[in-house]
Amino acid sequence: SDVVDFFGEHQAGIVTPAQDRLCFAALNVLTEDRAELVELLTRWTAACARITQGLDVTDTGFDGGSQYAPPQDTGEAHDLSAGHLTVTIGFGRSLFEDKDGKDRFGLRERMPEALIELPHFPGDTLDPARTGGDLCIQACADDPQVAVHAVHNLVRMGFGIVSTRWMQLGFGRTSSTSKSQNTPRNLFGFKDGTANLKAEDPELLNDHLWVRDGTWMDGGTYLVARRIRMIMETWDRESLMGQENTIGRTKGTGAPLSGGEEFTAPDFAMQGAGNQPIIPKDSHVRLAHPETNNGVQMLRRGYNYADGTDRLGNMDAGLFFIAMVNDPRTGYVPIQNKLARQDALSEYLRHTGSGLFAVPPGIPNEPGAYVGQQL
C-alpha cells in the first residue's frame, strides 16, 4: 500500500522515509477569531485523513456536489493514488505574538521558549517574501501533483481565514530518513543524507528530535526551513579535488576522505601530505559533524529545487533545507553560525528564505481530535 497513516503519536512526514517530492507552504492567518482558527484546523484534520488515503477531500468530491456551489475538492489528484502523501503542520512564532508583541489568540503564554526569532546569520540574504509565516504545511509525496493537491486544498478550505505567504516546490529528496533508503544526490552531485538521524534509531530520535518536556509540544519537534541557493556557475568550475575537499567526502561513493565506504565513520585526526588533516579543517562534514558540535544531531529532510533563472541568466536552483530538531537554540543556531563563518561550502551558497515552526505532536485517531489540539 502507498498510504502513510496521518494519525499517530508523532505527525507523519518527519521520520516517514523521505518521499521524493515536496510542496511546502507558509501561511498568514488573517482571522482574529480563535474559534475560526480551531475550526479550520479541525476541517484540515478531516481533509488530511482522507487525502492521505488517496481520497477526495469529501465524499462529494470534485464533481458530485451542487452545480451551484464550488466543488469540495479541486480534483487534480482524483485519479491518482495516495503516493505516500504526508501532511505536516507547524506553528510560527508570529501565531503567538505579532511583531508589535500583541497576543493574537490568547496563546502567548504558551509560546515555547525554543520558538525563537532566528538570528541574522553571516551572509544571509533573506527575501522577506520567502521568509516567516504563522503556519506551515509540509506536503510530501511520490508524485508532485499529489503534494500540490494537498496544499491547494488546505489553502482553498482556508479562504478568508488564511492566505499563502510563500510556497516552495522540491523535486528530489536530499536526505534519507530510513536505513531502508538509498542516499540520493543534491544538485552539486554529492550524496546527501548519509549521516542523518534515521527512523531506526529511536533513542537518538528521543535525544535529538522529539521534544520531551511535558508541555503541549511533548512528542513534537521544530522545523527549520532554509531556501539555500547554490551557485552552480562557480561550483561547476571547481576541480573534482576542490569539490571533494569542500565537502570532506568523495563525489563517487560518498565515503569520507579518510577512507572506507559511504557509511564508514570519518577519521578527522588522519593526516596527509604536510601533516594537514585529510578531511580539511574547513570542510562541510567536519564542521557539521556531531563530534565538533557538542554531539548535536539533526534530522535533515530537504529537497532540491530549481526555480528558473535570475535576470542575469544564472540558475535559481539549490536546496530547500529542512531540519527537524528538538531545540533549535542548541540543535541549529550554533551550527549554522559556525558553517556561515568557516565552512568552505558557504562560498557557493546563498540563504534566500527562512522559517522556524513548532510542529505539534501527532493527532490521535479519535473523533474530534485535530492537529494542534494540545495547544
Helix (H, G, I), strand (E, B) or coil at 172: strand
Q: Are 89 and 371 in contact (CB under 8 A)?
A: yes
User: x/- string (CB under 6 A) for ligand HEM, residues 222-251?
Assistant: ----x-x-x----------------x-x--
Q: Which residues contact 214 (CB under 8 A, 6 or more apart)?
A: none
Q: Is 321 in the site for ligand HEM (CB under 6 A)?
A: yes
For ligand HEM, how many residues bind (rule: CB under 6 A)?
Answer: 27
Check binding of 209 to ligand HEM (CB under 6 A).
no
Whole-number minimum distance, CB 293 to ligand HEM, in Å? 8
285 binds ligand HEM (CB under 6 A): yes
Q: Does 279 bind ligand HEM (CB under 6 A)?
A: no
> How many Å apart are CA 304 and CA 284, to the nearest integer?
18
Is residue 192 near ligand HEM by the rule CB under 6 A? yes
- For ligand HEM, the binding residue among 11, 86, 168, 194 (CB under 6 A) is 194
Residue whose CB is less far from ligand HEM, 13 or 318: 318
Beta bridge pairs of residue 357: 92, 223
Query: Is 95 an interacting residue with respect to ligand HEM (CB under 6 A)?
Result: no
186 binds ligand HEM (CB under 6 A): yes
Of these, 6, 105, 190, 303, which contacts ligand HEM (CB under 6 A)? 190
Residue among 132, 126, 120 at smallest CA distance from 92: 132
User: Could you count the other beta carbons within 10 Å of the beta carbon of residue 211?
Assistant: 23
- Which residue among 115, 150, 335, 375 contacts ligand HEM (CB under 6 A)? 335
> In the structure grid, which three cell numbers stand for residue 305, read together?
529545487
Distance CA 89, CA 13 (A): 10
Does residue 325 belong to the site contacting ligand HEM (CB under 6 A)? Answer: no
Q: Does 193 bind ligand HEM (CB under 6 A)?
A: yes
What is the 3-state composition of the chain as percent helix, strand, coil, each rounded to the nearest 5?
25, 25, 55
Q: Across the strands, what pairs with 368?
A: none
Q: Residue 133: what residue type?
A: G
**Does 318 help bind ligand HEM (rule: CB under 6 A)?**
yes
Distance CA 187, CA 210 (A): 30
- Kindly tell me which of 103 and 291 has the beta carbon lying closer to ligand HEM: 291
Q: Is 18 in the site for ligand HEM (CB under 6 A)?
A: no
Total residue count of the chain as it appears in this document: 375
- What gap in Å lies between CA 29 and CA 194, rounded to an integer? 37
Q: Where on the chain is the footprint of ligand HEM (CB under 6 A)?
A: 186, 188, 190-196, 226, 228, 230, 247, 249, 284-285, 288-290, 298, 318-319, 321, 335-336, 339, 349
